[in-house]
Each structure stands twice: as structure tokens, then as C-alpha cells.
Amino acid sequence: MSSPKIWTHKGTFLLAAVGSAVGLGNLWRFPYLTGENGGGAFILVYALTIALVGIPILIAETLLGRASRKSPIMGMQYLTESHNTSRNWRAIGWMGAFAAFIILSFYSVIAGWAIHYTGLMFSGSLVGADAATIGESFGDLLASPGLLLTYHTLFILASGLIVGMGIHKGIENGLRFMMPALFVILLIVLGYGVVAGDVGAAMSFLFTFNLSDLSLEGWLQAMGQSFFTLSLGMGAIMAYGAYMSSEASLTRTAISIAFVDTAIALLAGIAIFSLVFGSGLEAGQGPGLMFVTLPIAFAELPAGWLIGGVFFILVIGAAITSSISLVEPVAAYLVERFGLSRPIAVTLMITFCWLLGLLTVFSFNYWSEGTITHDWFGRSPFDVLEFITNILMPLGGLLIALFAGWALSREEVLREMSTNDTWFECWQFLVRFVAPTAVAFVFLRTMPQIDGYLIPAVGSVLLIGAFTAGRTFIQRQS
Ligand code: TRP
């Protein structure tokens, strides 16, 4: 066996994890969810969940990766064997890989929209256009399978190329160049938003906390978003953690990732809402916020085409640094398990994702609302894929928290975390009890008719969790 692969620098894990965390979730999803859910109150719940649930699970997932130094599937196999726990925990690895396929398949299609908008902005074709025209141009894009396919192909190829070049030459070098560039672009767009837009309105929208603005649905969405944005529960962080230097502090790194990720979401929110409010537009437009509302604002602002174009480059870049972390866990598994060369493993992974992506591409045209294929329980194939990931991500996070909290020994965790007892106890309490409870709630958001079933459903999820955890615990003692 060759010695395990490690990132070149102590800080590279942080860079890679931030690259994974910061993506469409921060620039596209966070602002529109905040817009739909009344602003500040949503952000408050989101920040609380990041601190109490996100950070502990982030530590747990990194810990599993670094303790096994393998791809998530092989790593979980190793950990269940070395800790003498039920083999069922290996589901963490498999579910993660499955979720990575699905997420990448639609992530790539949506990132492709940003490629289209980069072109629209720089070509100046939207300058001075009115709201109706811009809305139509988004509709035209979605109605064209050819365009969507072209962008989807380009995006997934770019991600595959980076991962195919290996963790040092491809991923590390790519991130070292892209991350600072993305940050600079974000600052430029923010500066422009402050000058050309209405920052005052944006700030008061984002930071006026009025809890009564928030529905139960909004609460659950805030919690779900905190998972999505930290890339938790799917093995991506575990795969990167496997390459993490043993010297880097898990706790400090996890807190930094969560901090930077949240800061970037907020800065993007301030930039976007300054422009949107400055142009007298509405915040609650849903997923179209970035692709319709924002372009309307750019269309009428001075040099809007230029800043708009640069902004969409930021979106593409942030999406690529996330998508490479979706390719890596599966590619690393194929290399480890079947001895494939990295380029071949990556090619296999992205080919399947590309094919699966066709479901999303056709969901917006051939199979869109009103067609027979759409009416699959009233959802398009894209909705179904999103629904599946909304189940898999929290479930993965739940299992990771329970496994790290109950199956790993105190000494082992303390050695990895290298912190004091108090913080360890605190972390353990969070991953054993608080995180699983919170996740159970997020999980339930995906269940239909939530109100009627809320209490019995939460109860049963908790029971199952406690039972499984107890079983692991007892087995380890034997
Ligand atoms: N965190 C990413 C974003 O905010 C999305 C994401 C969710 C992700 N899960 C992931 C990315 C797993 C990479 C790996 O856009």
C-alpha cells in the first residue's frame, strides 16, 4: 500500500471545503429563500442551525474521513469493521455516493443557466430590456433542450477535467486560483451594489429579526438550507477530510468553514438585494430571483451588462468548486475499489451524471407542466430528484452524527479533535442528541401534510435513531 494521499498544505482542506460549501446554495438558493421567507427571521434560524447543528456535523463528517483516510464508501466499511459495529452503517457511504450522483446531475444543469446569462450580459443583448422581455428570455432558455444540454455538457466536462487531473494538480491548483478570484469578484459586485443600489433597504430586509414573519415551513427550510450550504451528509466533506493534514485542528477548521460560508451568503445577499430594491423590484420571486429579477436590475443600471457578466462568472466558478467535490468521492471510490485510473473513474462518474441530467433538462420543456410525463404525482422528474436529495442529505447527516457520536471512542475523537474535555463533551452532546433531533425535523419537511403527522413522525424517527445508536453502542462494548 502506498502512503495515504494528503493535501499539500495544512490549510488546503479549509480551502477545498469552503470551495465545496460556497456554491449555488449561497448565491442562488440562500437569497431567494430569504426573500421568500421574510428576511431577517429566516437568517436568524439559519445561523442558529449552522452553529448548533451544522458545525458539529461538519466536525463529525471530517472526523470520519480523516480517521479512515479512504473514500466514503471504503472508509465506512473500514470504520464499521474496526469499531465492530453493525455493517448497516456502511449505508452512510453508499447513500452519499447516490446523493452525489443526483445532486451533480441537476446542479450542472442549473449552473449551465449561469453560462447562458454570462453570454447574455456580455453581449449586451439585455441592456435596456424591459421586465417582460427578460422574463421571456428565461422562459426561452428553459424551453430549449438543445441549449440546456450544451451548457450542462460544458459544465460537467469542466468539473470532470479538474478532478481527472488529480487532487494536487487538478483540485488544489484549481482552487488556489479560483477561490481568491471569486472573492474579489464578489467584493466588486458588492461595491457596485452599494453604489448603484439601495443598501439601506437590503440591510433592513436582511437584518430585521421578526420571528413572527417565519412560518413553520420557513423554519424547516432554513434548517435544510444550512445543510445544503455546508455540503453536509453526502460524503463530499468526508472525501476531502480523508486528505486533511493530521495537524490541522478539526474544530477551528469547521468553525472557519461555517463562518466563511455564512459570510459569503450574507455578502451575496446584500449585493443582490441592494440591486433588486434599488430598482424597485420584489424580493420574493423564488428561484427566478437570480435569473429574472437580478437581470432586470442589471439591464437598467449603468455598466450593468459588465458587472452582471462578471457576477455570472462568479456563479459559474462557485458552482464548479462545489461540483468537483461531488465528483471526487465517487471517483476516489472507483479508483480504490477497482483500481481504475483516475481519468477513467471520473469519466464513468460524469457520464452517468450527464445521462441522469437529461431528466432535469427535459423537465423544463418536453416534460414540463401540462404534459403527461410531468404528472407523476404532480411533480416533474426534476422535482422528484430534488425531493430525493432533500431526504438523503439530512438522513446522511443524521447517520453521520449518530455514528461519530456513539460508535467512535472518546480517546479516538479526543486525539483527532485535540481539544479540551469541555468542548469535547459539548460536541458529543450536540451530535448525540441535538443534531439528530433537529435533523429529524428537517427530514420531516419533505413529508407531505406535515402538520397532522408532525408529532408521531418526529417521535418515531427519534426512536429509530436512539435504537440504532444504542445497538451500535452495545455492540462496541462486546
Ligand atoms: N454546498 C453547495 C452549495 O451551497 C451545494 C451542495 C450540497 C454540495 N451538497 C453538496 C456541493 C455536496 C458539493 C458536495 O452550492
Number of C-alpha atoms within 13 angstroms, CB side, residue 431?
26
Distance (Å, rounded) from C-alpha 251 to C-alpha 129?
49
Residues linked to residue 376 through DSSP beta bridges, in sequence order? 379
| Residue 80, all three cell numbers | 464499521
Identify whether the C-beta of residue 279 lies closer than 8 Å to the C-beta of residue 197: yes
**Confidence class of residue 24 from pLDDT cuts 50, 70 and 90?**
very high
Q: What is the pLDDT of residues 264-300, one digit of tens each?
A: 999 999 999 999 999 999 888 878 889 999 999 999 9
**Is the CB–ligand 1 distance for residue 322 below 6 Å?**
yes
376 backbone dihedrals φ, ψ, rounded to 5°: -100, 90
Distance from Cα 139 to the centre of ligand 1, integer Å: 26
Is it the case that residue 77 has pLDDT exceeding 90? Answer: yes
Say what the pLDDT of residue 478 is: 43
DSSP letter (8 states) at residue 474: H
Identify whether the C-beta of residue 387 lies closer than 8 Å to the C-beta of residue 43: no
Give SS3 for 341: coil
DSSP letter (8 states) at residue 5: P
Angle at Cα 436 formed by Cα 432 and Cα 438, nearest 5°? 130
How many C-beta atoms surround the C-beta of residue 244 within 10 A? 25
Q: How far is CA 452 from CA 115, 444, 461, in A?
A: 43, 11, 15
Written as one string, the DSSP assignment of 352-386 is HHHHHHHHHHHHTTTTSTTSTTT-BTTB-HHHHHH
Q: Tell me which H or E stretch contains 223.
A: helix 216-229
Distance from Cα 397 to the centre of ligand 1, integer Å: 13
DSSP letter (8 states) at residue 288: H
Distance (Å, rounded) from C-alpha 245 to C-alpha 260?
20
Is it the case that residue 352 has pLDDT exceeding 90? Answer: yes
| Residue 353: exposure state from Cβ atoms within 10 A (0-12, 13-18, ≥19) | buried
Q: Ligand 1, from 103, 314, 391, 393: best to mutate by most atoms within 8 Å of Cβ?
A: 103
Residue entry with cell 430528484: 385
Say what the pLDDT of residue 288 is: 86
Is it the case that residue 376 has pLDDT exceeding 80? Answer: no
Identify whether the C-beta of residue 298 lies closer than 8 Å to the C-beta of residue 304: yes
Closest atom of ligand 1 relative to the 30 alpha carbon: 4
Q: What is the pLDDT of residues 44-60, one digit of tens each?
A: 999 999 999 999 999 99
**Is the CB–ligand 1 distance for residue 114 below 6 Å?**
no
Say what the pLDDT of residue 450 is: 47
Say what the pLDDT of residue 466 is: 67
**Is the CB–ligand 1 distance for residue 234 below 6 Å?**
yes
Q: What is the pLDDT of residues 445-477, one digit of tens each?
A: 666 544 555 566 666 666 676 666 666 655 554
Mean pLDDT value of segment 65-87: 92
**Is the CB–ligand 1 distance for residue 224 below 6 Å?**
no
Identify whether the C-beta of residue 279 lies closer than 8 Å to the C-beta of residue 300: yes
Q: What is the pLDDT of residues 138-183, one digit of tens each?
A: 999 999 999 999 999 999 999 999 988 988 888 999 899 999 999 9
Rounded to the nearest angstrom, the gap between the alpha carbon of residue 140 and the centroid of all alpha carbons in its chain is: 27
Q: How far is CA 37 from CA 43, 77, 165, in A?
A: 9, 41, 41
Residues with Cβ < 8 Å from 147, sequence gap 6 or more?
116, 141
**Is the CB–ligand 1 distance for residue 21 below 6 Å?**
yes
How many C-beta atoms surround the C-beta of residue 306 within 10 A? 14
Distance (Å, rounded) from C-alpha 269 to C-alpha 28?
9
Distance from Cα 128 to the centre of ligand 1, integer Å: 34
The residue type of 222 is: A
What count of residues does the chain have? Answer: 478
Distance (Å, rounded) from C-alpha 279 to C-alpha 296?
8
The residue type of 143 is: A
Closest atom of ligand 1 relative to the 22 alpha carbon: 4
Identify whether the C-beta of residue 189 lies closer than 8 Å to the C-beta of residue 307: yes
Distance from Cα 326 to the centre of ligand 1, integer Å: 8
Mean pLDDT value of segment 56-66: 95
What is the percent of the chain with per-residue pLDDT over 70, rounded to a whole number? 89
Number of C-alpha atoms within 13 angstroms, CB side, residue 66?
22
